[in-house]
Amino acid sequence: RQAAIGSSGRESMSNVTIDWCEENYAVSEHIAEFWNTVTSFFTIFPSILWFLQTAPIGSGAIPWLHLLCVLISAGSVTFHGTLTW
How does 41-51 read in b/e, with b if 16+ C-beta sit within 10 Å? Answer: eeebeebeebb
The SS3 assignment for 26 reads: coil
Mind listing the pLDDT tens digit for each residue in 70-84? 999 999 999 999 988
Task: Return the pLDDT at 79.
Answer: 93
CA separation for the pair 14, 39 (Å, rounded): 21
Task: Return the pLDDT at 85.
Answer: 76
Q: pLDDT tens string for the chain (85 positions)?
A: 445 555 555 566 677 777 767 898 999 999 999 999 999 999 999 999 999 988 887 678 888 999 999 999 999 999 999 988 7
Give which of 37, 44, 45, 42 is closest to 21, Cα–Cα.
37
